[in-house]
Amino acid sequence: MFTSLRSRLWSTYVLIVIMVLAVCSVGLIYALRQSPLLYRQVINQIDVSSELLVRRLNPLVDRSRERFIQAFQTESRDIDTNVALFDRNGQFLATNIAGSEIALQLIAQQVDFEMQDGADVSLFAGGERNKDWFYTVRSLGDNYYVLTAMIKPVFQFSTIVKDEFMSPLLQAGAIVLIFAFFISLIISNWIALPLKHITQSAEALSEGDLVEIPLEGPKEVQQLASTFNLMSKKITAGAQSQREFVANVSHELKTPLTSIQGYAQAILDGTVESKPAIDKAANVILIETNRLHRLVMDLLTLARLEAGTANIQHSEVHIQALLANMVDKFSIQAEKQAIQLHIDRIPDVVIMGDGDRFAQVFSNLIDNALKFTPEKGQVRISAEIANQDIMIKVADTGLGIPEVDREKIFDRFYQSETSRKYGKKKGFGLGLSIAREIIQSHHGKIWVEDNAGRGSVFVVKLPIHRNKS
């Protein structure tokens, strides 16, 4: 029954309201029982009676003792408070209500009449039969005291509750509970509605749909919604990239496999007979298998780098020597393509990492630069130190990369439209994704810039381990 947020909230409110009302009423009753307000009537009555009697008897104090006692009895008869006459020594002389002598004498024994003379009404605790009394003492002439007293009334707790509190308490409780019901309704909707949206979005996500959750409700729920949105986007992007990956791999595998199959079939069924034709077919098969081999190796490298399982060496790498080697490796290819491959003076710094992996990165960058630069173009390698990093640049005067493509070219299999059409040598579009993974695993960065309007500049930033220059 009490499983929904709303009913739980409401029952909590009911409990709190009942507790608050109970504590308040107990406190109020206690305060009231202590308060003189409840006994004001009694106190007033004692005051008035005592005043009245003193006024009546004062003119008669000079009479003889017996006659004065008689006068006291006459004058006090109509007073309905207990009054008693005592002499200076505390000797009881008379009272107006028969039977109250003992009780009044008990008070007289314990109260110092001289001290209390004319004082306000006081409380005498523990009188006859354990009752409490309110009393006041007045002197009459030099010889007498009048004690005026009344039993302190006892108010029953239950009577106070029933008479004074019950109905306002019940009314207040009912009103507050109605309020609590609406507030719990509002608050539970405020919390539960966004949670419902999150559940709906999760259900949609499991069906493969991305439903953005609006940020509403309490801060914590909003944080949950925004984290959920982020997670959904990542899951959707992951699923999308997985689909694209499979499609791309299949696409890349299809062409070489078809041509291998075709040539192998031709040799087998005798369509290709002559030695030169067979050689040509075998050559095509070899080229395509090499291509396939490279594709598989690249995919494997990428998968290992992404999973963090690639075996990356950590040794000192001399950047100057590494880049010089790269230029040597590509100089013949550059010469063939009539491209000027130039290397600036490189600072002699050492970085920590895997030399072979760095070679793979710069091979791909120089290979790309040569691939996408027309004859008579220029490829220039330079490096500069910026704070604790070295920035290595591979600049070319080639096709350039449109602004929209500058991030995408680092995605797996991405090849820009312009380069596809231009393509001298067909690649897979994996080189830069591998390069980025390698550089990032060495705490570096790689990006591409425009080469002053002609061609592009690839920049690799890596932390310097030691500067020897």
Ligand X SMILES: Nc1ncnc2c1ncn2[C@@H]1O[C@H](COP(=O)(O)OP(=O)(O)OP(=O)(O)O)[C@@H](O)[C@H]1O
Question: Interface residues with ligand X (CB under 6 A)?
Answer: 364, 368-369, 372, 396, 398-399, 401, 409, 414-416, 419, 427-432, 456
Closest approach, Cβ 209 to Mg ion, in A, equals 36
CB closer to ligand X, 134 vs 362 = 362
Residues of span 385-444 touching Mg ion by CB under 5 A? 427, 431
Selection from Mg ion, ligand X, none that 428 binds (CB < 5 to 8 A by kind) is ligand X
Q: Which parts of 333-392 interact with Mg ion (CB under 5 A)? A: 364, 368
Instruction: Write the CA distances from 354 to 163, 317, 322, 427, 441, integer angstroms.
Output: 91, 7, 11, 24, 10
How many residues of this chain bind Mg ion (CB under 5 A)?
Answer: 4
- Which residue, 77 or 424, has its beta carbon nearer to Mg ion? 424
Shortest distance, CB of residue 342 to ligand X, whole angstroms? Answer: 15
Q: Go through the chain and tell me how many residues it has.
A: 469
Of 95 and 433, which CB lies nearer to Mg ion in the complex structure? Answer: 433
Return the one option of ligand X, Mg ion, none that residue 351 interacts with (CB less than 5 to 8 A, by type): none
Do 412 and 423 form a contact (C-beta atoms < 8 A)?
no
Instruction: For the CB of residue 415, give the shortest distance to ligand X in the complex, in Å.
Output: 3
Comparison of 323 and 365: residue with beta carbon closer to Mg ion = 365
Strand order of the sheet with strand 466-467? 315-318, 349-353, 466-467
The least CB distance from residue 405 to ligand X, in Å, is 7
Query: How far is 65 from 144, CA to CA, in rounded Å?
Result: 10
Residue with token string 């220059």:
469
Of the pair 349, 430, the CB lying nearest ligand X is at 430
Q: 37 vs 452, which CB is nearer to ligand X? A: 452
Q: Which of residues 182-221 bind Mg ion (CB under 5 A)?
A: none
Residue 32 near residue 38, CB atoms below 8 Å: yes
CB of 260 to ligand X, least distance (A): 19
Q: Within a 13 Å sphere around the CA of 154, how many CA atoms are in the beta-carbon half? A: 7
Q: Shortest approach of ligand X to residue 254 CB, angstroms?
A: 17
CB 461 within 8 A of CB 389: yes
Q: Are 359 and 325 in contact (CB under 8 A)?
A: yes
Query: How far does Cα 38 stand from its chain's mean position?
Result: 53
Rounded-to-integer distance, Cα 362 and Cα 374, Å: 20
- Cα-trace Rg, the chain: 53
Query: Residue 416 CB, nearest distance to ligand X (Å)?
Result: 4
Residue 138 vs 371, nearer CB to ligand X: 371
Query: Which residue's entry shows tokens 């500049």?
Result: 457
Residue 128 identity (one-letter amino acid): E
252, interface contact from ligand X, Mg ion, none, CB < 5-8 Å by kind: none
